[in-house]
Each structure stands twice: as structure tokens, then as C-alpha cells.
């Protein structure tokens, strides 16, 4: 055993044994003082100090992730599925749900998991950390045990992969080496995470850093990569890779008709139907899906009525006072916001209201992105605009004013709800995009309270965060 003392209060203890599991015996002897462990290839790291759990995880992110990847790989090697990876700045979960609609129970899907931790947790059948941080202790102990007994029988593994931080997509790509990769989009989501890469001289700008991160998946794909033919960045990043690259021209969708509660896409003699609103941008997803089914030699279904969609992604709900609610409150990056606003502009509906939250994780480009947001909002020509969040209030509202649009801007979701309840007359279509607890506002406007379980952020930790804001659920 070796001990590395860093200062008078923080200690890192490392043990090596014939098995990673041997470290746990030492852990339980130290449990009163040790707080976190990480391990990979038989090397166990114990932390005994005063750094917060969040800071430890950030500092040793990939060390901890390798520990879980090591055991998840046992499951993966035993299973040996055909792997279909889905990546991009926005639209990944929608693509995964579309694939699930087609392949059904022939595949296992990484629902609610797309990170260096989430994918190993998914393969090991571990639920991740929700609620108490002490669950880390359970996860660390359970991983080696689960790795021996977890079994999958499905032919395919359809996995969503994020590039939220530098090297995360690469970390997963070099391990999973998918047969097929679907690269759905590229934009400046989580830009703040890549600023250090630029400052250190690794890339000229944030865009290049993000593109390189997502490109690690096509570079590690065995057979087939789908990209958007309209994206110069994707085309450039996939030149010379070993896998076949198929550029999909989404302009082949000739007709797009969207209402608050339905959407139809027409391609030749084929009509793709949804019983909720979808942005025109998913034309790419639909054409990829059609071609993917040919590649996999599986039948293709054009009707997407009743498809399982993730909460907070273009869900439709009936509201009180005959309101029509379009819920896209899961998150907001400019690329996804632009897609939703284009959908709203094209939507067959009267009295369109926009309720927008902040665009987060933008770092130095926060002001620039929120001023771009103002221009996108103005292009919709909505009847009313409600902005919720300090960034939209500071940057978007003043820009909208110069464009001739007066917005209601607030930091408090309760004020937004109060304005909606007092000012709507009935029959308005309310389109929500962004977080800032907009799901709470939607919940209070629902005609059927039972629909609340279909909203995003229903987990205990999210409920507790809302309660701290005084937002009861």
C-alpha cells in the first residue's frame, strides 16, 4: 500500500491486489474516514479528506469512469451485440426513440444514459446516482458482482453517446467501436466545457473542439456512418475514415405539415405520421431510419402514432381553458431552439405564445447566443413572448425590443405562470422551450393532472430542487 499526502488534510490511498474487489475489504475498514474510491485494472484509489463529492468526481472523472467501464466490458464482451451509436449536439434521444419504434424488442436501448458513467451503468443494470450521494458506495461495490451475472439476449445495442465534455465521446467510441454511427447534428452545446481546449491551444475555436469530439465516433465505427449532407463540418470530419459514409439529403422530404397535436412528413409515396408536433429537422432522422432498416434487413414502419418519446421533447398536452401545450422543456441549446422555433413558425395554429428559458453552458459566448435567440424568436412573429431566466432577461429581452417585440421577462417561473393564467383567453398554443423549471409551469396548466407524470424531471432530486425555489409539485 502506498499513501500520497497532498497537504495536511487531504489523503489519497492506493491499494493493489490480485483483484479489484480486494480493495473493498480495505474500504470497509476505512469507511468512517474514507469517502470515495476509484479503480481500474486492479488499482484502487481511496480518498480520505475534505473535498466535496462533486469536486472529486470532476477531478477524477475518467478514472472513476474507467472503473465502471472495466466491469461493463465483461458484460459487453459476453453479449457481443451489433452496436448502433447515436451522437450529436441535439436530437439524439429522438433518434433513439425512432429506432426503437422500428426495431422493438430486438434491441436493448440506453434510455437515460449517454455519458462515460451512464453507458457502463446501463450495461451493468445499475440505476446511477439519484438521491443520496452515498449510493456511490453501492455502485462501486455492485459493479464487479453485476459484471458476472448481467445477461442480454437482444441482437442489437442502440446507444446514445454525448460529447458534453472533452474526450467523453472518444472514451466511449474507442471502447464500443460501433458497427453503425448516426451523427444527427453538430452545434455549440456545452460550449463552456471546451473553452479550456481552445485556451490550451488544442483548437482554434470552440466549434472545432466540439466537432473533433463528435468525430471520434465515426473514426471508430466499423461499417457505416450517417451524416447530414448539408453539414460541411460533418463532411470534412468524416473524410478518409474506414467506415462507409452515407450523406443524407433531408430536402428529399417534400411536404411537411405540423399542428400542435400532429405532424406529417411526405417523401415520395410515403407519409410519416406523428400524433404530436415534430420539427422539420427530423426529416434527416426519418430518412436515416428508412435506410438503416434496409441495411439491417428489417421491415420499415411509416406510422409513428403512439411512439414512445422522452419527456420534454415536443410532447403535446391539453391545457386548462382550452390551451394547447407543446412541451420541449427538457433543455435548450441554440441548435435545438432554432429547430423548435422553425416548427412553431410553420405550425398551423392561431395565437402562438413562446415561453423560453435560458441557454446554459455557453460560457464566453452566452451573450452572443442569447442575442441570436432574439432574432430567431422575432422571425416566428409570436403573439406573446415570455422569457424565464437571468440570461434571457439580460441579453434576449433588450435585443427583442430593438426588433420591435416586447417580451415579459422574469427570473421567477411563478411570475410566468401568473402572467399566463391572467392573460390567456382560451385557445392559445403555448410552446415551451428550455429548462428554468418550465416543467413546473406546464404542470400547473395541465387540464388532466395525471399528465404530470409525462413531464421531464420527475425524479426526487429534481423535485427537491424545485421545492427549494418554492415550487411545489
Q: Which residue has the higher pLDDT, 434 or 158?
A: 158
Q: Where are the alpha helices (DSSP H) in 15-60?
A: 22-30, 53-59
Q: How far is CA 94 from CA 110, 229, 380, 463, in A?
A: 13, 19, 23, 24
Residue 408 grid coordinates: 415579459
- The answer to whether residues 102 and 206 belong to one domain is yes
Residue 131 DSSP one-character state? S
Q: What is the average per-residue pLDDT within 266-288?
A: 93
Digit-coded pLDDT (tens) for 349-395: 999 999 999 987 777 888 988 999 999 999 999 999 999 999 999 99
Report the candidate in 440, 450, 397, 449 with the shortest Cα–Cα distance to residue 420.
Answer: 440
Burial of 239: CB neighbours in 10 Å, binned 0-12, 13-18, 19+: exposed
- The answer to whether residues 39 and 111 belong to one domain is no
The pLDDT-based confidence of 24 (bands split at 50, 70, 90) is very low
Q: What is the average per-residue pLDDT within 28-40?
A: 40
Q: What pLDDT does residue 51 have?
A: 52
Q: What is the average per-residue pLDDT within 294-323?
A: 92
In angstroms, the CA 224 to CA 228 distance is 14
Report the candidate in 143, 154, 26 with the shortest Cα–Cα distance to residue 81.
Answer: 154
Q: Which of 30, 59, 88 represents a domain boundary (last residue)?
A: 59
Q: What pLDDT does residue 40 have?
A: 42
Digit-coded pLDDT (tens) for 433-442: 987 789 999 9
258 contacts 275 by C-beta, under 8 angstroms: no
* H or E segment to which residue 303 belongs: none
Q: What pLDDT does residue 315 have?
A: 94
- The answer to whether residues 139 and 42 belong to one domain is no
Local structure of 6: helix, strand or coil: strand
- The answer to whether residues 123 and 47 belong to one domain is no
Over pLDDT 70: what percentage of the chain? 86
Residue with cell string 433513439 = 96
- CA atoms within 13 Å, Cβ hemisphere of 292: 31
Longest dimension (CA), the chain: 73
43 beta partners: 16, 40
In angstroms, the CA 378 to CA 341 distance is 10
- The answer to whether residues 178 and 232 belong to one domain is yes
Residue 271 DSSP one-character state? E
Q: What pLDDT does residue 174 have?
A: 97
Residue with cell string 433588450 = 398
Is residue 262, in this structure, part of any structural domain at all? yes
Digit-coded pLDDT (tens) for 181-229: 999 999 887 777 888 888 889 999 989 999 999 999 999 999 999 999 9
- The answer to whether residues 357 and 292 belong to one domain is no
Q: What pLDDT does residue 52 have?
A: 54
Is residue 66, in this structure, part of any structural domain at all? no
Q: What pLDDT does residue 198 have?
A: 87
Report the candidate in 245, 197, 43, 333 with the shortest Cα–Cα distance to residue 237.
Answer: 245
- The answer to whether residues 158 and 269 belong to one domain is yes
For the beta carbon of residue 145, count every other beta carbon within 10 angstroms.
12
The pLDDT-based confidence of 289 (bands split at 50, 70, 90) is very high
Local structure of 325: helix, strand or coil: strand
In angstroms, the CA 73 to CA 79 distance is 10
Digit-coded pLDDT (tens) for 395-421: 999 999 999 999 999 999 999 999 999
Q: What pLDDT does residue 416 have?
A: 95
Q: Residue 252: give its domain's CATH number.
A: 3.40.1190.10
The strand ranges marked E within 210-269 are 224-228, 244-248, 255-259, 262-267
DSSP string spanning 336-365?
HHHHHHHHHHH---SSEEEEEEPPPS-GGG
Q: What is the average per-residue pLDDT within 30-48?
A: 42
Q: What is the average per-residue pLDDT within 135-151?
A: 92
Q: What pLDDT does residue 61 have?
A: 87
Is residue 202, in this structure, part of any structural domain at all? yes
- The answer to whether residues 230 and 118 belong to one domain is yes
- The answer to whether residues 54 and 91 belong to one domain is no
Is residue 124, in this structure, part of any structural domain at all? yes
Q: Which residue has the higher pLDDT, 175 or 53?
A: 175
- The answer to whether residues 25 and 155 belong to one domain is no
* H or E segment to which residue 281 belongs: none
Q: Which residue has the higher pLDDT, 133 or 239?
A: 239
In angstroms, the CA 285 to CA 272 distance is 11
271: phi then psi, degrees, rounded to nearest 5: -120, 125
Is residue 406, in this structure, part of any structural domain at all? yes
Burial of 441: CB neighbours in 10 Å, binned 0-12, 13-18, 19+: buried
Residue 361 grid coordinates: 453552458
Q: Tell me: pLDDT of 18 over 70.
A: no
Burial of 293: CB neighbours in 10 Å, binned 0-12, 13-18, 19+: middle
Over pLDDT 90: what percentage of the chain? 67
Residue 201 grid coordinates: 491551444
Q: Residue 333: give its domain's CATH number.
A: 3.90.190.20
Domain total in the chain: 3
In angstroms, the CA 39 to CA 20 distance is 7
Is residue 304, in this structure, part of any structural domain at all? no
Residues with Cβ < 8 Å from 318, sequence gap 6 or more? 324, 325, 446, 447, 448
Local structure of 36: helix, strand or coil: strand
> Which residues span the domain enclosing 174?
80-296
Is residue 405, in this structure, part of any structural domain at all? yes
290 beta partners: none
Is residue 363, in this structure, part of any structural domain at all? yes
Residue 437 grid coordinates: 423549471
Strand 156-161 with 107-109, pairing: parallel
Q: Which of 296, 325, 343 represents a domain boundary (last residue)?
A: 296
Strand 429-433 with 324-328, pairing: parallel
- The answer to whether residues 16 and 113 belong to one domain is no
- The answer to whether residues 106 and 254 belong to one domain is yes
Q: What pLDDT does residue 405 have?
A: 94
Q: What pLDDT does residue 305 have?
A: 86
Amino acid at each position: 500500500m502506498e499513501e500520497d499526502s497532498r497537504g495536511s488534510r487531504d489523503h489519497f490511498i492506493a491499494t493493489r491486489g490480485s483483484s479489484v474487489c480486494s480493495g473493498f475489504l480495505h474500504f470497509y475498514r476505512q469507511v468512517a474516514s474514507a469517502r470515495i474510491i476509484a479503480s481500474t485494472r486492479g488499482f484502487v484509489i481511496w480518498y480520505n479528506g475534505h473535498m466535496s463529492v462533486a469536486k472529486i468526481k470532476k477531478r477524477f472523472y475518467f478514472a472513476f469512469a474507467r472503473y465502471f467501464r472495466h466491469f461493463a466490458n465483461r458484460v459487453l464482451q459476453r453479449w457481443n451485440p451489433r452496436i448502433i451509436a447515436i451522437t450529436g449536439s441535439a436530437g439524439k434521444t429522438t433518434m433513439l426513440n425512432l429506432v426503437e419504434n422500428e426495431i422493438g424488442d430486438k434491441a436493448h436501448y440506453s434510455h437515460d444514459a449517454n455519458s462515460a458513467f451512464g453507458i457502463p451503468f446501463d450495461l451493468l443494470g445499475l440505476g446511477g446516482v439519484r438521491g443520496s450521494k452515498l449510493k456511490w458506495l453501492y455502485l462501486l461495490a455492485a459493479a464487479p458482482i453485476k459484471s458476472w451475472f448481467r445477461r442480454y439476449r437482444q441482437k442489437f445495442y442502440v446507444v446514445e453517446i454525448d460529447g458534453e465534455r472533452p474526450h467523453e465521446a472518444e472514451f466511449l467510441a474507442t471502447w464500443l467501436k460501433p458497427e453503425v454511427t448516426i451523427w444527427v447534428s453538430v452545434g455549440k452545446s456545452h460550449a463552456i466545457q471546451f473553452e479550456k481546449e481552445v485556451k490550451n491551444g488544442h483548437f482554434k475555436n470552440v466549434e472545432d473542439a466540439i466537432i473533433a469530439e463528435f468525430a471520434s465516433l465515426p473514426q471508430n465505427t466499423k461499417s457505416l456512418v450517417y451524416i447530414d449532407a448539408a453539414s460541411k463540418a460533418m463532411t470534412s470530419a468524416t473524410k478518409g475514415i474506414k467506415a462507409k459514409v452515407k450523406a443524407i439529403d433531408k430536402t428529399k422530404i417534400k411536404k411537411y405539415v405540423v399542428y400542435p397535436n400532429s405532424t406529417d412528413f411526405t417523401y415520395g409515396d410515403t407519409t410519416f405520421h406523428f400524433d404530436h408536433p415534430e420539427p422539420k429537422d427530423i426529416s434527416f432522422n426519418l430518412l436515416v431510419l428508412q435506410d438503416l432498416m434496409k441495411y439491417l434487413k428489417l421491415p420499415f414502419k411509416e406510422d409513428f402514432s403512439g411512439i414512445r418519446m422522452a419527456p420534454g421533447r415536443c410532447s403535446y398536452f391539453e391545457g386548462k381553458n382550452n390551451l394547447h401545450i407543446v412541451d420541449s422543456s427538457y433543455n435548450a441549446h441554440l441548435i435545438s431552439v432554432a429547430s423548435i422555433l422553425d416548427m412553431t413558425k410553420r405550425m398551423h395554429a392561431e395565437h402562438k405564445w413562446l415561453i423560453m428559458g435560458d441557454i446554459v453552458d455557453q460560457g464566453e459566448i452566452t451573450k452572443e447566443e442569447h442575442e441570436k435567440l432574439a432574432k430567431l424568436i422575432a422571425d416566428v412573429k409570436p403573439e406573446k413572448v415570455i422569457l424565464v431566466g437571468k440570461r434571457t432577461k439580460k441579453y434576449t429581452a433588450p435585443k427583442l425590443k430593438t426588433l420591435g417585440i416586447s417580451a415579459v421577462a422574469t427570473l421567477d417561473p411563478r411570475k410566468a405562470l401568473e402572467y399566463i393564467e391572467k392573460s390567456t383567453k382560451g385557445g392559445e398554443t403555448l410552446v415551451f422551450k428550455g429548462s428554468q423549471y418550465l416543467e413546473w409551469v406546464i404542470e400547473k396548466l395541465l387540464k388532466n393532472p395525471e399528465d404530470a407524470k409525462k413531464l421531464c424531471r420527475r425524479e426526487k432530486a429534481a423535485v427537491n430542487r424545485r421545492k427549494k425555489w418554492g415550487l411545489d409539485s
